[in-house]
Structure 1
Amino acid sequence: MARRYHIVLIPGDGIGPEVTAAARRVLDVVGVFDIEEVEAGLAYYNRTGKPFPDDFLDRLRAADATLKGPLATPVGPSGYRSINVYIRQSLDLYANLRPCRGYQGISPRVFNMVIVRENTEGLYAGIEGVFRDQALAVKIVTRHGSERIIRFAFEYARANGFKRVTAVHKANILKLSDGLFLQVFREIAKEYPEIQSDDLIVDAAAYNMARTPEKLQVLVTMNLYGDILSDLAAGLAGSLGLCGSGQIGERYAVFEPVHGAGFDIAGKGIANPVAAIHAARLMMEYLAQKHSDPYLARAAKSLDKAIEATLVEDRVLTPDLGGNAKTMDVAENIAKRLAQLLEH
């Protein structure tokens, strides 16, 4: 009998409820998930005065994994702190895994790139202050944080057949903080002689991504750089709606699309659900590896093929990709393709 998994689903803000409903439709085909829906975000805050329920973290910790939509954070000073950062730091989700592919006939370039972003340190540690007319932010880089994200990147490359890992940094200017990250990278790279290792200064990395993305494989980097470069990768793929992500720690994991809340198109039923469905696929891969589940591993690979077939062969495309399909049209087509693959 197949193992069942308890999943927390956070619909989120803006288009979040639409794209997570699409992902849930696809997960239903796999048939091994018990899904508990938990509200959080701006809409919940506006209704209750709280960004999330009092037992929010307990519910996330009790689940096998969490799948969430985008949670918006208002710009500027306020009492509303980023829920995303709160989740990462509270659950110690140190690795932000952001694979992104360019599809034949859909994307401007065809590539298969993975950005592994350190998720708890750097400038996003949130240590800020004001002195007179000076605003200050502290960048935190530790040996421990560097070691575990770099090792995660090499282990991911080894497990998924990638032959090259590239460190992205600014150690030419930030000689101590980024210099520590680069030093640790070179030390750990020696433990993986079968994998090529090199490094790029972050501006050069952006140039190389735009010029020859097909030559890059796994990029490992610090928090801010990874945040920016993963959006660049999505732009190279043709849409933020194509790339999912996973935030992974030693005990817990949360998966989500890389895009934001998309308030301008919310409620229109035209949001691209592929990023959320890819996030669900990454969740399946994570659970399959963690629990040595061959059925879920096969289902994750089949889902990847179903997504590609829907985009490349069936051309079921939302407006961001030049089509006129609705969010659930894409989900239904992927679900049908997945069911066929699992049956055979």
Structure 2
Amino acid sequence: MKLKPDAIDLGHNGSPVSAPDQRRSPPTTYRIAVLPGDGIGPEITDVAMQVLEHVTTVVDGLRFDLMLRSAGASHYRKNGVALPDGVLADCLAADAVLLSAIGLPDVRRKDGTEVQPEMMVGLRRALNLYAAARPVRLYPGVESEVRNTVHGIDMVIVRENLEGLFASFDGGTQVDGEVATDTIVITRAGTRRVVDFAFRLAQKRLGRPTDRRRVVTCVDKANVFRSFAFFRKVFTDVAAEYEDVEAETMYVDAACLHLIQNPGAFDVLVMENQFGDILSDLGAALVGGLGLGPSAEIGDNHALFQPAHGSAPPLAGRNIANPMALILSAAMMLDWLGDRYGDRSALKAATLVENGVAKVLAEGDVLTPDLGGRATTKEVGQEIINCIC
């Protein structure tokens, strides 16, 4: 299979963009805070770290200080805290954060909720990660759950990451076991910056697969709720500033329908937090499942990269979990670092890592069970490394 040499580029899979005017000289060594997490997390993290270490032997001038740190549900069970202050400080000081799968269903807070949201919301708020980007790309060799893939599937779902319904985390109310409420929060500033992120991302892509037109789609429920009508109004205001990118609006129920019927008609989609949480998993189902779902959470000064899937406790310790989502997230991290610092070495490494994953998928001989194969986690990782040269 002949792969495009710039497959990781924003024009192809929608890796995240840096904030405006944030480019600076690259450090001699990138400090990466690596959080292995829970369940299958440590296994796939070990493989992803091997891939990162290998790519430094292929690309001149690229070095990493991979700082392993303990956080998550397992840490909470042992120590009573999911995200230690010291780990958070290391994440704030790092050039990027690579977070694996976190959370365990049986580890819960006193109110019955899992500790995973506490850690994730804590990280997002502390690092001010306001834009979450999930590429949805159908790689050659991977079967889709939908029939209409003649044009291919290559979109990015962008969700506002700090507001929306998730702003009620730890802020909702419950009265006498009879009434519970959560409040959605939409601000002009928060909406404007994530919509601006989406349009800047679209400018760097090749457009939607059906006709290569650059389009940003606002997904909302503006026909019912004032909060979403306001979100759409801010979207429209920002869209007017981007003459080279088309803008369209769509209700969330219609968006779900069209994602299934004609996924090639989407380029970049932007939406409120909860809608984005749901639609991004739907998008992953179109292109092989969450095992192929990378993601990035971006702010003006920090970025975090993690697979879209959970910790899958039943698979833990069995060496059969798919490491590709985390490896693709690491490729997004390399691309973000390259774009942020103008570092050609990091950009080249990003291309090599994604191309390695794409080649393994296209050949189809070394795949984990979720993709119909019999290979182990470690075998898939080694096969990807063999393809990086």
**Aligned counterpart, 1:159:** 204
Give the C-alpha shift of residue 254 in structure 1: 0.8
313, 327, 333: which one pairs with 2:383?
A: 333
Of 345, 350, 354, the residue aligned with 1:304 is 354
Structure 2 equivalent of residue 321 of structure 1: 371
* Matches for 1:74-93 after TM superposition, within 5 Å: 74=105, 77-78=111-112, 80=115, 82-93=118-129
Query: Of the candidates 169, 172, 175, which is equivalent to residue 131 of structure 1?
Result: 175
* 1:49 equivalenced with 2:94 (yes/no): no
Q: CA deviation at 1:314?
A: 4.6
Percent identity between the aligned chains?
39
Kept after mapping to 2: 8 A contact 1:102/1:238: yes
Inter-partner Cα distance in structure 1 for 2:88 and 2:81 = 14
Instruction: Tell me, yes or no, if structure 1 residue 58 matches structure 2 residue 89.
Output: yes
- Alpha carbons of structure 1 residues 2 and 177: separation in structure 2 relative to 1, 3 Å: closer
Please give the per-residue CA displacement for 1:119-158, whole angstroms capped at 9, x wherever unaligned. 0001111130023421000000000010000000111111
- Matched residue, 1:120: 162
Secondary structure, aligned partner of 1:160: coil
Cα gap change, 1:41/1:221 in structure 2, threshold over 3 Å: closer, same or farther? same
Establish whether residue 34 from structure 1 lines up as the match of residue 34 from structure 2.
no
Per-residue Cα deviation, 1:56-92 (whole angstroms, up to 9, x for no partner): 2111011000001122165682484621111111211
Structure with greater contact order relative to length (CA < 8 Å, sep ≥ 6): 2
**8 Å contact 1:112–1:214 — kept in the other structure?**
yes
Which secondary structure state, in structure 1, belongs to the residue aligned with residue 315 of structure 2?
coil
Distance (whole Å) between structure 2 residues aligned to residue 251 and residue 273 of structure 1: 27
Distance 2:385 2:203 in 1: 30
Match of 1:94 among 124, 130, 133: 130
Partner residue, 1:253: 303
Contact conserved, 1:73 with 1:82, CA < 8 A, in 2? Answer: no
Partners of 1:73 and 1:83 within 8 A in 2: no
The partner residue of 2:336 within 249, 268, 286 is 286
- In terms of mean alpha carbon deviation, does 124-133 or 288-297 score higher? 124-133
- RMSD of aligned C-alpha atoms? 1.7
Q: Write the distance in 1 (CA, Å) between the matches of 2:337 and 2:190.
A: 23
Contact 2:104/2:311 (<8 A) preserved? no
Unaligned segments of structure 2, at least 5 residues? 1-25, 57-62, 208-213
Note if contact 2:160-2:272 (Cα within 8 Å) is conserved in structure 1.
yes
Q: CA-to-partner distance for each residue in 1:15-72, whole Å, 9 max, x for gaps?
A: 1111111111110122221100000011111222222333121110110000011221
Q: How does 1:190-269 map to 2 (within 5 A)?
A: 190-269=240-319
Q: Which amino acid aligns with 1:38?
A: R
Q: TM-score, normalised by structure 2?
A: 0.84
